[in-house]
Structure formats: C-alpha cells, structure tokens
A and B are shown apart, each in its own frame.
Chain A
Amino acid sequence: MNIELRFFASVREALGVSQEKVSLPAHVVTVGDVRAFLRERGGKWAEVLAEGKSLRMAYDQQMTDAATPIREGGEVAFFPPVTGG
C-alpha cells in the first residue's frame, strides 16, 4: 500500500522532511502501525515518533488516533499539539 506522509512544525524540523511518499508492508494497516513502522528507521525517527511523546496524528486531514485504519492513497500526518489562535 502506498500513502503520503506529512510532517509539521517541530516534528518536521526534527525529522528534516515535510512530505514523503512511502510504500508500506502488508502488516501496516493503521495510523499507529505507520508510526511504529517509521520508528524502525531508527535515530531521529525512533526518538521523535516514540510512544508517549506528545504527538498528534491526522488521517486524510482529520485529527485521529492510532487505531484508525488506512487505505491506498491516504494521507497520514504527524505534528505537535497545536498552538494557533
């Protein structure tokens, strides 16, 4: 399955990437799985996306949680808690 990744604010800066297309192995089927899959890259990825980090996730541009299933062509985003207004 192929999806689009988006990173914003401090997460984008720490990872050094804002957008990326990625091909996922068959066992990666939820937003939480994507986070775990990316952690396997090690280094900054393991650190920034670690469990317990105050991180927000969105799927197809809607705030979501780890259990949300993903589909071909979907968009998964990771970012810190928002600070607008």
Chain B
Amino acid sequence: MTIRVQTEDFDLSHEVAALRAGSPQVGAVVTFIGTVRDINDGSTVAEMELEHYPGMTEKALQDIVEQAKSRWNIYDALVIHRVGPLLPKDQIVLVAVTSAHRGEAFDACEFIIDYLKTQAPFWKKEQTPQGARWVDARSTDDEALAKWAQPDG
C-alpha cells in the first residue's frame, strides 16, 4: 500500500507497472484519475490551489486504504494526491487497486475515492474572473459516502 502527497505530476502507466511488478496473482487493476475542470458552478476556472494538512493527510489516506483492505479482498492499493497550484486539465488524484477479480477492485477503488473526498483534509481554492474562492463541499459527495455504510456501523 502506497500513499503519496506531492506537487509533481504522475504517470499512470508507470504507476500501474510499479503496482503490478512481481505480482503474478493480480488479475484486475482498477484506476481512477481526478482532473481539474475549466468550469465549476458556472464560472471559468483559470487556476486552482490545493491546500492540505501535512501529517493528517497521510494518516487519513492510510486509514481509508486500510478500511478498503479490510472490506474487500484486494492485493494492493496506491493513492497519489497532488497539492499546490494546478491548471485546468491537470491530474489531481490517482487511486489504483489490484485484486484477483474485477469486482473487488472496482468496489474498493470507488470506496477509496468516495472516502477521500469527504474525509481527507484537502481544500481547493479556485481563481475565477470574479476572484478567488474556496470550493464548497458538495452534498452529492456525502450521498456517495452513504452508500458504503454498513448495517453494523
């Protein structure tokens, strides 16, 4: 399991190759990449700044990935999240999960990104023609999280 918080970009092919290296038992790799859009809530976004809480961020991501590992039969998981200034089309986040079969990897990957969006301490600030603004949390993100709730809490 690998967690990285970095300002640099990442390369999907390289990261997936590293995740699969020496693991012939892997039969499925599911990846998610989040990217910067040039429009949000009706405004053009020229640039974005991602702030985080160093120390807590890494712990929160570790905790999310450990939860995924305890719920699904997956081999490995990788989360890379960028911070600092970003431009439209830039990559923001990568989640990659390996497992024997696709079902477990799909579910674990979606779980990790849904939890990350509501639990990991990152904040986006956008530069728009109307000035700089902090992005508001979305209720749809909380709804996405609710679907993973377990009956035993």
Residue-wise interface mask of B (92-119) relative to A, using a CB-CB cutoff of 8 A (1 in contact, 0 not): 1100000000000000000001001111
Is B134 within 8 A of A9, CB to CB? yes
Number of A-B contacts (CB under 8 A): 72
Given contacts A8-B123, A9-B125, A58-B121, contact A77 B56 (CB under 8 A): yes
A84 at the interface (CB under 8 A from B): yes
Which label, helix, strand, loop or mixed, suits the secondary structure of the B interface? mixed
Is A82 within 8 A of B118, CB to CB? yes
Q: How many residues of A are counted as interface, with CB atoms below 8 angstroms from the partner's CB atoms? A: 17
Q: Which A residues, 24 to 67, have Cβ-Cβ distances below 8 Å to chain B?
A: 54, 58, 61-63
Q: Point out residues on A near B: beta carbons under 8 Å.
A: 6, 8-10, 54, 58, 61-63, 77, 79-85
Given A58-B53, A61-B59, A84-B124; 16 other pairs, CB 8 A cutoff: A6-B53, A8-B51, A8-B121, A9-B123, A9-B134, A10-B134, A61-B53, A61-B55, A81-B136, A82-B119, A83-B117, A83-B124, A84-B120, A84-B121, A84-B122, A85-B92
